[in-house]
Amino acid sequence: MTALLEIRDLRKSFAGVHAVDGVSFTVEQGSITGLIGPNGSGKSTTIDCIAGFQKADGGRVVLAGTDIAGRSAHQIARAGLMRTFQTVRVYENLPLRDNLAIAAQQFDDATWSDELFRTRRYRRAAAAAETRARELIELVGLARYYDADAGILSYGQKKLLALAAALMPRPRIVVLDEPVAGVNPTRIRDVEDVLRKLNAGGETFLIVEHNVEFITNLCHHVIVLDQGRKLAEGTAAAIHTDPRVLEAYLGMTPEMAEAEMRGAA
Amino acid sequence: MKAVAIVVAALAFGLLPYLTSSNYILGVAVSAAIYTVAAAALNLIYGYTGLLSFAQLGFWGIGGYATALTVVTFGGTFWLGLLWAGLLNAALALIVGYPTLRVGRHAFVIVTLTFALLVTLVARDWVDLTRGPLGIPGLPAPSLFGFEFKTTSHFYWIAWIYALLALGFLYALGTSRIGRTLVAIKQNEPLVRAQGIAPMPYKLAAFAISAAITGIAGGIFAFHLKVIDPLFLDFYYMQTFLIMVIIGGAGSFWGVVIAGIALSALPEVLRFSSDFRMIIYGVVLLVIMLVMPGGFAGWIRQRRLARMRAALR
Amino acid sequence: MAVDPVYLVQLTLNGITLGLLYALIAVGLALIFGVMQIINFAHGELLMVGAFAMSFALPAMGSLYWPAMAAAVVATMICGLVIYETLLVRLRPDEFERSILITLGLSIIVLHVVQYLFTANPRMVDTQYGFDGVLIGSIRITWTRIIGAVVAIGAFALLFVLLKHTQFGRAMRAIAQNREAALMVGIRPRVVARNAVVLATGLCGLAGAALAPIQLVTPGMGQFLIFKAFALVIIGGLGNIPGAIVSAIGLGLIESWIGGFFEIVWQEAAVFILMVVVMFLKPDGLFTRGGMRVG
């Protein structure tokens, strides 16, 4: 496996508070990597900096060999890193069809004059996007809403739509910001299945999530942040028993955790 | 089928001078064509892109003055004047739009408002150029290849052809990916950026196109009135365009076109004193924004959505 | 070029008076924006209402300045309360464009109703001070101008104390700085917004009342002032109260100086040019340090 995304010594502070304080990690090509941590641990700031939504104070973000740190959000997206948002973002008043088409339009060769005069190149690009959109909407199970406005979807369905939109341009990596936060628990398994299927098809994911069970089920590799620093890193199983993680994340010692587990069993 | 109906309707408007010889009706028709174009241009920047621009009034006035001055002061033709009106406005839109849009959409509203006011002041106070409050009366009839557009019915052709061209262009733009992207920017700008699209060029383009189209409309309208003075920048025009967009439904091409045509005729039917007319405009604006912020098109859309929800649940 | 120093001082004093009156309007806008994130387009018409109220109250009260001014301020504050309870209360903080269009509609209605009822003819307003003034050296300033400036300064002092040291002022600042946090500690946004609107319209009525004896009262008098106040709100930083005050006085001075030496078109254009320059150099306004600040 090779490193697709490499974060080196990322730093960001607000008014003297170090929200991200020298974080480094890598995401392997074809992996599902999880980024977890308690509230205020700097997860969201980290991915905002990676995706160009906030400007990092320092550090390197290398995507497939190119340093993208300091570029603006749209340039980073064009470089092949697509993200979703914690509070789900879709175009509420546009049909799913358009929601998906817009996500891909920056990545084909049709220029503005092609668009205005509906040239062959424009129609070819639009047809390719349509095929891809149908395929993805089928995969996330929203095919029956294809022509309906995104505004009528439930919160969980919108998260799936946002996932499909992020996949539209066949990015190198998709960064998911809390993909199951606020999603009906019975639906979480569906999201897991979709992500696993996509990963089997070769997609790489970096997932920020609160839901530890979700991360444990899905991720090959997990990074734990606490107070802007990397606390631990390893396989999901290793993280689960790391005493530092338990204390920071759950506020308990290994003994307490063990006691709790026994209690639950 | 729908397309055929639209083309037939558009061409039918061209037959108007054969149906009536009343200069009064043709005059109203010229206003309807020009106002509708200006409202559709405002719809591009406000309805589609979500940026409320009061600069339209300034562009309208600059268009009128640029065309009039090209003809009267600089000895050019009417058509050259219209070209200047379009180019000058597009350039101004870029100059004003770039720093303003960097700040945000709140600043955009306020700056465009101040811009409109500034144009009014320049028209009134820069006497050497604009001849001040007296304005420029007696604008000559335009001519093309020796044909003079002297009568109102001749002038109607100019307004009608311009309306067809401008509305056709705006329709094509609005239904293209560019139009769809403008709507996307209005709805969720961070998502647009996350999808690799830089919003600024789209916003600037929408603003500049809207400015150019409004400016040319102003140029034609000034020659229809045959006079230009600072009253050409009366806030009344801005309110008229705004009300057309808001009643028709911001973001709906056909809603605004239909409202534009209907509302141009309406004040002529209801002949009130100007104060009373403005009070009615104010009440309409206020009530529509309170109870039906999406206009008629928005209301129809809400009903369709409600049906869709009911069908899916 | 030799400049007569007396003339310059005269221009400067006029500029400060003008700037203080601009500031009264701009502060109201900044206050409302800070708390509700909306712009009140009808602010200029409220100023006009204040001036008209002054012009009606004066004859009724035997030309006495202070009672008439108090009546005018109360009248505009009542208007502000009514506007808030009937219109602005329906707006959510993200409905900026809608707020502008609703208050624009209101502004059109008020302007033309007043014009319809009282005609567009300018009115002279006479007070107990008449057109008397003081003579400092060879500079003459009318009492009404001096009182106008003092009233404005007094109002700012009062506003400062109110925002800094009262429960109600603290709640307003809290909402302007961090809406979510303010809601969590139990501040009721509706009450705070209503207070802010009433306070802002009171300042606006004060400006109108102070202006009435200085210049002619017309239904359109608010319109030109409001455009400048909008620009000032941008120059000072949206929602920034001290920023608005400083920019307003600065603008009054600049306009007065330019008006003394150049063509009038430059005087009128100054505010716009200033605004565009500020936006190029400091996109968030000259004085922004985030949120609504006091002092």
Domain boundaries, chain B: 22-312
Instruction: Give the C-alpha separation, B38 to B57, whole Å.
Output: 9
Touching subunits for chain A (3+ Cβ pairs under 8 A): B
In 3-state terms, what secondary structure has residue A208? strand
Domain map (residue ranges) of chain C: 5-281
pLDDT in tens, A112-155: 778 777 888 888 888 999 999 999 999 888 888 888 888 888 88
Residue A162 has, within 13 A of its CA and on its CB side, a CA count of: 32
C89 touches chain B (CB under 8 A): no
In the CATH hierarchy, which fold is given to the domain comprising B22-312?
ABC transporter involved in vitamin B12 uptake, BtuC (1.10.3470)
Quick one: pLDDT at residue B198? Answer: 92
Residues of C in contact with B284 (CB under 8 A): 105
Q: Where in chain A are the domains?
A: 3-90+170-264, 91-152
Choose the mutation target among C101, C235, C238, C271 for the interface with B, i.e. most B CBs under 10 Å. Answer: C101
Q: Does C104 touch chain B (CB under 8 A)?
A: yes
Residues of A at the B interface, defined by Cβ within 8 angstroms: 51, 53, 72-75, 77-78, 82-85, 89-94, 98, 101-103, 105-107, 110, 112, 115-116, 118, 122, 126, 144-145, 148-149, 151-152, 165-166, 169
Sort strands A32-36 and A204-208 into parallel, antiparallel or unpaired: parallel
The secondary structure element, H or E, covering residue C6 is: helix C5-36
How many alpha carbons fall within 13 Å on the CB side of residue B101?
25
C105 to chain B, minimum CA–CA distance in Å?
4
**pLDDT value at residue B19:** 76
Among the partner-chain residues B177, B184, B194, the one whose CB lies closest to the CB of A77 is B194
Q: In terms of Cα–Cα distance, which of C288, C272, C204 is closest to C232? A: C272
> Considering only CB atoms, which chain C residues are within 8 Å of B109?
39, 96-97, 100
CA distances from C179 to B107, C78, C173, C193 (A): 21, 27, 10, 12
Contact: B195, A82; criterion CB under 8 Å: yes
Structure tokens at B5: 């109906």
CA closest to B172 among chain A residues: A116
Q: Please indicate whether, in this complex, the C-beta atoms of A91 and B309 are within 8 angstroms of each other.
A: no
C201 vs chain B: nearest CA distance in angstroms? 20
CA distance B210 to B93: 9
Name B207's Cβ contacts closer than 8 Å, sequence gap at least 6.
Answer: B45, B49, B51, B53, B93, B94, B97, B101
Q: Which amino acid is at B213?
A: I
**CATH class given for the domain over C5-281:** mainly alpha
Q: Please provide the DSSP assignment of B244-300 as one string.
A: HHHHH-TT-HHHHHHHHHHHHHHHHHS---HHHHHHHHHHHHHHHHHH-TTHHHHHH
Residue C289 has pLDDT above 60, yes or no: no
pLDDT, position B76: 82
- Taking an 8 Å cut-off on Cβ atoms, the answer to whether A51 and B194 are in contact is yes
Gap between the Cα atoms of B56 and B53, Å rounded: 6
DSSP-assigned letters across all residues of A34-91: EEE-STTSSHHHHHHHHTTSS--SEEEEEETTEE-TT--HHHHHHTTEEE--SS----
For B152-193, give the DSSP string. HHHHHHHHHHHHHHHHHHHHHHHHSHHHHHHHHHHH-HHHHH
Structure-token match 């817009």, residue found: A102
Q: Which residue of A has its CA nearest to B191?
A: A89
How far is Cα B286 from Cα C87, in angstroms, rounded to an integer? 9
pLDDT (0 to 100) of residue B272: 65
What band does C295 get if pLDDT is binned at 50, 70 and 90? Answer: very low
- The tokens describing A92, both together, are 């509420």
Burial class (CB in 10 A: 0-12, 13-18, 19+), A1: exposed
Report the DSSP pairing between strands A204-208 and A221-226: unpaired
Q: What is the pLDDT along chain B (313 residues), one digit of tens a residue?
A: 778 888 888 777 777 777 777 778 888 888 889 999 999 999 999 999 989 999 999 999 999 999 999 888 888 888 999 999 999 999 999 999 998 888 888 888 888 988 888 888 888 888 778 887 888 888 887 878 877 777 778 888 889 999 999 999 999 888 888 899 999 999 999 999 999 999 999 999 999 999 999 999 999 999 998 889 888 998 888 988 998 999 888 888 998 999 898 888 776 666 666 778 788 888 888 888 888 888 888 888 888 888 877 776 6
Strand partners, A63: A5, A66
DSSP state of A141: T
Crossing angle between the packed helical segments C65-86 and C189-211, to the nearest 10 degrees: 140
Question: Is the C-alpha dihedral spanning C182, C187, C190, C191 positive or negative?
Answer: negative
Q: Report chain B residues whose CB lies below 8 A from the CB of A102.
A: 177, 180-181, 184, 192, 195, 197
Q: Read off the pLDDT of residues C189-226 as tens digits, 9 standing for 90 and up.
A: 888 889 889 999 999 999 999 888 888 888 888 887 88
C260: tokens are 């003394």
Whole-angstrom distance, CA of residue A217 vs CA of residue B187: 35
Give the strand pairing for A229-234 and A221-226.
antiparallel
CB count in 10 Å sphere of residue C264: 14
Smallest Cβ–Cβ distance between C269 and the set B118, B279, B285 belongs to: B118
A33 - beta bridge partners? Answer: A206, A221
Dihedrals phi, psi of B125, to nearest 5 degrees: -100, -20
The whole-chain average pLDDT of chain A stands at 84
From residue C165, alpha-carbon distances to A105, C158, C289 in Å are: 55, 10, 21
- Count other Cβ atoms within 10 Å, centred on residue A124: 14
- In angstroms, the CA B211 to CA B262 distance is 23
B117/C224 CB distance under 8 A: yes
Cβ burial of C295 (10 Å; 0-12, 13-18, 19+) is exposed
Confidence at A257, pLDDT banded by 50, 70, 90: low
Give C265 to chain B, closest Cα distance, Å.
5
Do B308 and A149 count as a contact with CB atoms less than 8 A apart? yes
Token pair 């690009």: residue: A125
| Chain A residues within an 8 Å CB radius of B197 | 74, 102, 105-106
Classified by CATH at the fold level, domain A3-90+170-264 comes out as: Rossmann fold (3.40.50)
Are A218 and A196 within 8 A, CB to CB?
yes
**Tokens standing for residue C128:** 């107990």
* Chain B residues whose beta carbon lies within 8 Å of the beta carbon of residue A112: 178
Residues of B contacting chain C (CB within 8 angstroms) = 46, 50, 52, 96, 99-100, 102-103, 105-107, 109-111, 113-115, 117-118, 121-122, 125-126, 239, 242, 246, 273, 275-276, 278-279, 281-287, 289-290, 293
Can you tell me the ipTM of this complex? Answer: 0.86
Beta-sheet strands, E only, within C113-230: 133-136, 139-142
